Chain A
């Protein structure tokens, strides 16, 4: 099945550093979302973006919906150990009440204390 192109695949950073990851697609999406998944758990929504060009923050997290509607990025500022996990971007296709998410392959983040 289709998956979005997410990069980087993995990152090792020092505690306190900023992180940036992005996601691109060959298709247009009307909604972009960013999720975090911890081991043994399901994905948890971090940020949802509903309009092209939109820049949204949630605490130390900032995400933008690309103007072409084919890309998005997520920034994490001043990383802390609990930021460790796998981050997924997802694009939403919706129609007739059906909500279908297309996910990227994820960015695995490791934070070195």
Chain B
């Protein structure tokens, strides 16, 4: 059973640029969620995707968007990057048949300069 894999592991971008982060869900999981974890904080829910559609969103602006593909993998896109977007971005997958606590990936560390 493969876990959740995220790429890249680290990324440095300039303010105003756009970034795409990628996630492959755990085998058998069809729901993917994205979280932002700033330094010294707990993860904050960005949104969740199920059946290639967003079905839950946290308090993040529209410049945070996502996609889910037929193989359940997912992308997180952030436009017009701001310095405060610097964080660890975590992908988590779960089964739609019932919440089992999520399986988190190791995250992508994004630094905006």
Partner of B48, one of A6, A42, A43, A98: A98
How extensive is the interface on chain B, given as a class?
20 to 34
Contact check, B107 vs A99: say whether CB atoms are below 8 A apart: no
A99-B40 contact in complex given A41-B106, A48-B101, A94-B99, C-beta closer than 8 Å: no
Question: Which residue of chain B lies nearest to A38 when distances are taken between CB atoms in the complex?
Answer: B106
A-B contact pairs, 25 of them (CB 8 A): A1-B59, A3-B41, A3-B42, A4-B42, A41-B106, A41-B107, A42-B107, A43-B90, A44-B104, A45-B101, A48-B101, A88-B43, A94-B99, A97-B96, A98-B50, A98-B56, A99-B94, A99-B102, A100-B33, A100-B48, A100-B56, A101-B43, A102-B45, A103-B43, A106-B41
Contact check, A106 vs B42: say whether CB atoms are below 8 A apart: yes
Interface residues, chain A, CB within 8 Å of chain B? 1, 3-4, 6, 31, 33, 40-45, 48, 88, 90, 92, 94, 96-106
Instruction: Determine which residue in A31, A43, A92 has the highest number of CB atoms from chain B within 10 A of its CB, and name it.
Output: A43
B51-71: contact bitstring with A at CB < 8 Å (1 yes, 0 no)? Answer: 000011011000000000000
Q: Chain B residues near A6 (CB, 8 Å)? A: 42
A100-B45 contact in complex given A33-B101, A48-B101, C-beta closer than 8 Å: yes
Query: Which applies to chain A's interface (DSSP): helix, strand, loop or mixed?
Result: strand
Question: Which residue of chain A lies nearest to B56 when distances are taken between CB atoms in the complex?
Answer: A98
Contact check, B43 vs A99: say whether CB atoms are below 8 A apart: no
Give bound CA distance, A20 to B43, whole Å: 22
Q: Chain A residues near B42 (CB, 8 Å)? A: 3-4, 6, 88, 90, 103-106
